Amino acid sequence: MENGTVINVLYFAQVAELTGTRLENWPLNEPITGEQWLNALEQKYPQLAPTRRLKLAVNQFHVKPSAVINPGDEVAVFEPVTGG
């Protein structure tokens, strides 16, 4: 699979526990919004529902669900953060 046809997805903390994986290559040929991708994520991992509560980072920056995800991006999905 060529690099341009996937996104690298990172799962953290409780999301990683629910998916059972921390890193996954996700096929993606065309740009998609974060919201559309979260819906696809929920189809693949129903145990994550409702995914609209989850937060996204694209290429290591927080983004809103309306942001566009492009092939080749690094996408991270996680629960609201709890540091400090």
Partner 1 sequence: MVVVQTEDFNSAELTADLRERTAKHAGALVTFTGYVRDYAGEKETHTLFLEHYPGMCEREIGDICQQAQSRWNTAEPVVVHRVGEMHNGEQIVFVGVASAHRGDAFRACEFIIDALKTRAPFWKRETLANGEQFWVQQRESDARKTQEWETKQAS
Judged by the rule CB under 8 A, the positions of this chain that interact with partner 1 are 10, 12-14, 57, 60-62, 76, 78-84
Least separation, in Å, of the C-beta of 18 and partner 1? 10
Least separation, in Å, of the C-beta of 65 and partner 1? 17
- Residue 27 sits at the vertex; the CA angle it makes with 58 and 8, to the nearest 5 degrees, is 35
Our measurement of the distance from residue 72's CA atom to the centroid of its chain's CA atoms, rounded to an integer in Å, reads 13
Closest CB to partner 1 among residues 5, 53:
53
List the structure tokens of 68: 């566009």
Distance CA 7, CA 72 (A): 5
Least separation, in Å, of the C-beta of 11 and partner 1? 11
